[in-house]
Amino acid sequence: MERGGRVRDNGRMSYPSESDQPTSRRAARTGGYPQVAAQQPAAAGGDSRLMAGTGVGSQSTDPALSQVQQIAGQARQAMNSVLEGKDHAVRLALITLLAGGHLLLEDVPGVGKTLLAKSLGRVVDGSVRRVQFTPDLLPSDVLGVNLFNQESRHFEFRPGPVFANIVIADEINRASPKTQSAMLECMAESQASIDGTTYRMPDPFMVVATQNPIDMEGTYSLPEAQRDRFMARISIGYPSAQAEIDMLDHHVDHDPLAGLAAVTSLESIMQARDTVRRITATPELRTYIVSLLEATRRDPGVALGASPRGGVQLLRAAKALAVLSGRSFVTPDDVQSLAVDVLAHRVIAKDDDDPQASAEIVSQVVSRTPVH
């Protein structure tokens, strides 16, 4: 059993699908949400391709790769100091940051979604803004507004919280579709158009959004177009019993983020992203990624398969994983280990639009698609 309720299947990741677990959000409201398996400590197992190669172990001899490994290793260690037993989620958050993507955290309440987002913002020495999405939140509350200055007799733009290096969009599915759509241009093009003027987002720019998959009354499900903007969706899962005991020791009397300091600069993150972009991907590997995408579209149980953007995001994430593993090239193992996290939220099953069902479909696609 892996973190977040995943199980190993021939070296790949999948999700448990016990028959006694409810398989839909509607069933969850009456029969209870599926029990998330307890996570094991980082040293006890996990996908070695996701857990290794962050400055510990397979250190690269390339100075640029070594620098990225060192940055990721320090950030991972700092984040794990406040997030007990969630190394897989920390690892994937760092991969998303280095690949230049956005992250969607979807899980039951109280497992550390917001804490993970805040800790990621703390380890990067940049601006961090948090937006609590509510039904009455307006697009101008997120993007900003032009205010008339009576002294200068001109309108002045007051930027909203989205103009930050890391934006924490807490419970994004509680905002109206109008406000959710205001984030689309920001996430897709790193810019916002307000009253006919376009404003660029700061570099680097990353959105870390959280949403609660239960208690769906009064919420607005993210449309497929916006879900597709997120590079990865992850479920954190409950910690192990020992990790939960440690939380009671460390998190009751003080703020776990109080002692968390930045371990890297914005300039270092931008240089790391440049290094990731230069990683090599062979034509055969790109063909393999397209084969995975086409397999999700042909699956008889799929109403909507993975988009072409999903393939682009999968390759970017695989390049980041290759760098953290100390390699200057991407392997099929990199793609396979990230396929569920990057593609599952882009796939809609015919019978049930449920995260677990989509993850199982992607896992099966990876299992049966040959590597040439």
The CATH number for 341's domain is 1.10.8.80
Pick the closest to residue 99 from 331, 265, 338 (CA basis).
338
For residue 356, tell me if it sits in a domain. yes
For residue 66, tell me if it sits in a domain. no
Cα(93)–Cα(236) distance, integer angstroms: 11
> Please, are residues 237 and 37 in contact by the beta-carbon 8 Å criterion?
yes
Total domains in the fold of the chain: 1
For residue 317, tell me if it sits in a domain. yes
Cα–Cα distances in angstroms (integers) from residue 57 to residues 53, 73, 77, 97, in the given order: 6, 11, 14, 22
The model's pLDDT over 268-308, given as tens digits with 9 standing for 90+, comes to 999 999 999 999 999 999 999 999 999 999 999 898 999 99
Whether the predicted pLDDT of 2 surpasses 80: no
Residue 41 is predicted with a pLDDT of 36
Beta-bridge partners for 208: 103, 168
Q: How many Cα atoms sit within 13 Å of 342 on the Cβ side? A: 30
Residue 328 is predicted with a pLDDT of 93
Tell me the torsion sign for CA atoms 110, 239, 98, 307: negative
Whole-structure pTM over 0.75, yes or no? yes
For residue 209, tell me if it sits in a domain. no
**Structure tokens given for 72:** 């990721």
Domain limits at 291?
Answer: 280-372
Query: What's the per-residue H, E or C state across 64-125?
Result: HHHHHHHHHHHHHHHHHCCCCCCHHHHHHHHHHHHHCCCEEEECCCCCCHHHHHHHHHHHEE
For residue 146, tell me if it sits in a domain. no
For residue 303, tell me if it sits in a domain. yes
Radius of gyration of the chain (CA): 20
For residue 54, tell me if it sits in a domain. no
For residue 253, tell me if it sits in a domain. no
- Return the DSSP state at 39: P
Pick the closest to residue 333 from 58, 77, 65, 123 (CA basis).
58
Q: Among 33-42, 174-183, 240-249, whose mean pLDDT is lowest? A: 33-42
Residue 3 is predicted with a pLDDT of 41
Pick the closest to residue 105 from 363, 371, 355 (CA basis).
355
**Whose structure tokens read 């396979």?**
336
Whether the predicted pLDDT of 16 surpasses 70: no
Whether the predicted pLDDT of 10 surpasses 70: no
